[in-house]
Structure 1
Amino acid sequence: MLSEKTIQVIKSTVPVLQVHGTAITKRFYQMLFTNHPALLNLFNHANQKQGKQPTALANAVYAAALYIDKLETIIPVVKQIAHKHRSLGVKPEQYPIVGQTLLAAIKDVLGDAATDEILQAWAEAYGVIAQVFIDVEAEMYQQSEQQSGGWADFRAFRVQRKVVESDVITSFYLVPQDGGALAAFEPGQYVSVKLQIPGEAHTHIRQYSLSDAPGKPYYRISVKREEAIQVKGKPEGKVSMYLHTQVKEGDVLWLSAPAGDFTLDQKDTRPAVFISGGVGLTPLVSMMTTLAASAPDRPITFIHAAQNGSVHALRQEIEELAGRSPQIKVYWCYEKPTTMERENIVYDKEGYIDLPWLQRVLSSPEAVFYFCGPVPFMRTINRLLKELGVADADRRYEFFGPSGDLEAPDEAAASEAAVQR
């Protein structure tokens, strides 16, 4: 337990962290990778270069300081991060390295303002917070390994099938190379894929949502090709490009066991509404497919936004599922439909999802809402659902990449690129 004095010192740093938090975490990652380059094997390099990871860490540090006397308040965030850590293979022995580097970064950025008293308080607080993560992750590692079909770390999977779903999205059907059983997963969860790309100094790990329902003899991931993303003038999306262009049927990929807390609540009996943008439909397809089988009388609405039909993945699969159940309604919103699509009316709305249209297609806002997609899209959907009167607890979402802020103005996110897991 932390002393009252330590708690008060940590709380006194909250205003400083609000101003300098991102500068501290940027310096932290610079120092971490300089002194411990092997850790580059665990991190998404694109998120580092785009500043997403330092921002996410700064938010987490700020929250820890703000609620240092009520750490139970941030347990949901701890569990969300712990899922990522377990899927990446973060180990307890790495936490002291992180703690030492974080303190050094605080001192480096704040200079004389980081007094010995402040640094000592943060050292004590970090020890307590780190132990919370270690304990939560230890339980996750144990559960992952000991469940039926489970495993520790990474396991070899063979690409059984590779299916082009759209101009930019391809699905990979993956089966265990050892022929063993598959671990169960919750609809909405993801797996980490670890690749050693020829010519790259470090391994690359990315998380991809499982895009089919549990209980199948395979895992399916549906990956968006991201070659258009530019970071400091250089193209990113190395992993997705490699999967699309180099990985063939019969090749082997290394996967961690399924993880993630963005999951379908199958005990809820209310109508379910799924709203996706772009490749954000992948976890929602898993949820909807599962729900249609387990609760056929539960009303489902599936709304998907895409630029046009050429980049719209899994449309036929969703329509076939809806065709078998009068309880499922699907709607397509195309930002820039082609002339042929306009003439044949193959979509329900042109442009962007807006409040009047949502009010028309939804029979009632009394439902649980799941949404996923690019950050600007999710900010818009979150705002629209709030305007509809949907309670916070009934708006459930997931970021592809480090967690962000859905309360920021939509226009502030206009230039943000959607990051595929």
Structure 2
Amino acid sequence: MLSAKSAETVRATLPAVGGAIGEITERFYGKLFAAHPELLRDLFNRGNQASGAQQQALAGSIAAFAGALLARPDDRPDAMLARIAHKHASLGVTADQYAIVHRHLFAAIAEVLGEAVTPEVAAAWDEVYWLMANALIAIERRLYQEAGLAEGPSLREYRIAGRVRETADVAVFQVRPVDDGPLPAFRPGQYVSVQVELPDGARQIRQYSLTGQGDGMLRFAVKRLAGDPAGEVSNHLHDRLDAGDLLRISAPFGDVCLDGGDGPLLLASAGIGCTPMVSMLDHLAAAGSTRRVISLHGDRDQASHAFRADLEQLTAKLPGGSAHVWYERPEGEWPADRTGLVDLSGLEVPAGTTAYLCGPLPFMRTVRAQLLDAGLRPADIHYEVFGPDLWLGREA
């Protein structure tokens, strides 16, 4: 791992680098896109760039990786690396792109830190970068091989066979391969990258959790994203695409997947975070699972709750299943103890439970803290983040 000499230098300079990492990543992306505008047009999420979320995620991952190397020099933070690698593989990232990133990132570091970047400091952080990059390249190469794909973009053309309105702002797309070949295998909880061509010619890519498959079709749900910036891909899918239209879709990826054991499960979601949980419940019901399965979900109200009927129907098929739902502003009569935010204080969580969380970061932080208080091991609590992982590194 990190050499003793570099470790000493990184430890001494980590506060300065960490304090400036936000400015460094902002300059880095500016340099990268000036030199390679096609990356912003066709690979990076323009909305996350505009909001600053991607810059925050990159800054957090670099600082967290360096910190992990110093804290545990003989261990590689594979949980953090696997999450990044799965996202990269779904986007078709290639090994040669790491050299491009390196060039512009270190130019940004030199600009921001100036004379503080001595040859010794540059060499130490260069070692950190390539330890992280080469580890990601190796993991991504394995992911491509396991999926039977060549390294790089491997989007397959699908035709929209149907579109179902789930709620006012959530639509379910049913897609079938144009080549009539077999559907790719996927594990419950995984996602696909979906590429659309926008009116300005950009080919933007977003990830959406698979909610199931059947009749030769994959299913995924898309929530319309409002705000500033609004979700340009989600809005494009909602407003412009319907049955008969074409999409380019990746093989399934994602490291937060249902385990194959027989112990108790807890599936906790909020908002559109229910989509990977629906996939897990669908798999468990189809397999006739007798596992203890506790499903928790929080939403604004009944009308906003996507897959509400699926949650009820799939839970009813599980002998050991139970579902608990909280609404912030419920419509009509609703139990007082299920009004407001999700709260596990009144629930018994069995020993040995494996938990999966998906939803807004404040929701997942709260639920995770309650699960730890209930006695669950940190290693048994898994989470999925839609978009840049701003939690990444904190749990590495």
Q: 2-side partners of 1:361 and 1:75: how far apart?
A: 32
Give the AA of the match of 1:18. Answer: G
After superposition, where does 1:8-407 map in structure 2 within 5 Å?
8-40=8-40, 41-68=42-69, 70=73, 72-145=75-148, 153-200=154-201, 202-212=202-212, 217-227=216-226, 229-230=227-228, 235-267=229-261, 269-338=262-331, 341-342=332-333, 345=334, 349-354=338-343, 358-362=344-348, 364=350, 366-405=352-391
Q: CA deviation at 1:113?
A: 1.1
Q: 2-side partners of 1:14 and 1:309: how far apart?
A: 48
The answer as to whether partners of 1:331 and 1:348 remain within 8 angstroms in 2 is no
Q: Structure 1 residues 331 and 23 mapped into 2: Cα distance closer, same or farther (>3 Å)? A: same
Q: 1-side partners of 2:330 and 2:360: how far apart?
A: 19
Give the AA of the match of 1:90. Answer: V
Higher relative contact order (CA 8 A, sep 6+): 2
Q: CA deviation at 1:216?
A: 6.0
The answer as to whether partners of 1:375 and 1:406 remain within 8 angstroms in 2 is no
Q: 2-side partners of 1:25 and 1:71: how far apart?
A: 28
Give the AA of the match of 2:278. Answer: V
The answer as to whether partners of 1:333 and 1:347 remain within 8 angstroms in 2 is no
What is the CA deviation profile of residues 385-404 of structure 1, one whole-angstrom value per residue up to 9, with x for unaligned ones?
22222221221111111112
Q: Structure 1 residues 126 and 352 mapped into 2: Cα distance closer, same or farther (>3 Å)? A: closer
Count of residue pairs brought into register by the alignment: 391
Q: Structure 1 residues 348 and 195 mapped into 2: Cα distance closer, same or farther (>3 Å)? A: farther
**Relative to structure 2, which stretch is displaced further, 100-109 or 384-393?**
384-393
The answer as to whether partners of 2:91 and 2:153 remain within 8 angstroms in 1 is no
Q: CA deviation at 1:405?
A: 2.7
Give the match's secondary structure for 2:208: strand
Give the match's secondary structure for 2:148: helix
Q: CA deviation at 1:242?
A: 0.7
- Mind listing any 5+ residue stretches in structure 2 that lack a counterpart? none
Give the AA of the match of 2:217. Answer: Y
Give the match's secondary structure for 1:210: strand
Give the match's secondary structure for 1:311: coil
Q: 2-side partners of 1:188 and 1:318: how far apart?
A: 15
Q: 2-side partners of 1:286 and 1:116: how far apart?
A: 51
Q: 1-side partners of 2:51 and 2:233: how far apart?
A: 16
Q: 2-side partners of 1:107 and 1:407: how far apart?
A: 24
Q: 2-side partners of 1:12 and 1:205: how far apart?
A: 39
Root-mean-square deviation (CA, aligned residues, Å) is 2.4
Give the AA of the match of 2:218. Answer: Y
The answer as to whether partners of 2:359 and 2:385 remain within 8 angstroms in 1 is yes
Q: Structure 1 residues 96 and 146 mapped into 2: Cα distance closer, same or farther (>3 Å)? A: closer
Q: CA deviation at 1:220?
A: 0.8
Q: Structure 1 residues 59 and 205 mapped into 2: Cα distance closer, same or farther (>3 Å)? A: same
Q: 2-side partners of 1:153 and 1:346: how far apart?
A: 49
The answer as to whether partners of 1:187 and 1:264 remain within 8 angstroms in 2 is yes
Under a length normalisation based on structure 2, what TM-score does the superposition of the two structures give?
0.92
The answer as to whether partners of 1:63 and 1:74 remain within 8 angstroms in 2 is no
The answer as to whether partners of 1:67 and 1:74 remain within 8 angstroms in 2 is yes
Percent of aligned pairs with the same amino acid: 39
Q: Structure 1 residues 377 and 2 mapped into 2: Cα distance closer, same or farther (>3 Å)? A: closer
Give the AA of the match of 1:85. Answer: H
The answer as to whether partners of 2:191 and 2:209 remain within 8 angstroms in 1 is yes
Q: Structure 1 residues 225 and 348 mapped into 2: Cα distance closer, same or farther (>3 Å)? A: farther
Give the match's secondary structure for 1:305: strand
Q: CA deviation at 1:300?
A: 1.2
Q: 1-side partners of 2:393 and 2:12: how far apart?
A: 25
Q: 1-side partners of 2:362 and 2:215: how far apart?
A: 33
- Mind listing any 5+ residue stretches in structure 1 that lack a counterpart? 409-421
Give the match's secondary structure for 1:310: coil
Q: 2-side partners of 1:2 and 1:270: how far apart?
A: 38
What is the CA deviation profile of residues 316-371 of structure 1, one whole-angstrom value per residue up to 9, with x for unaligned ones?
12212223333221122111112xx32xx4897111122xxx24343635422111
Give the AA of the match of 1:218. Answer: M
Give the match's secondary structure for 1:157: strand
Under a length normalisation based on structure 1, what TM-score does the superposition of the two structures give?
0.87
The answer as to whether partners of 1:13 and 1:65 remain within 8 angstroms in 2 is no
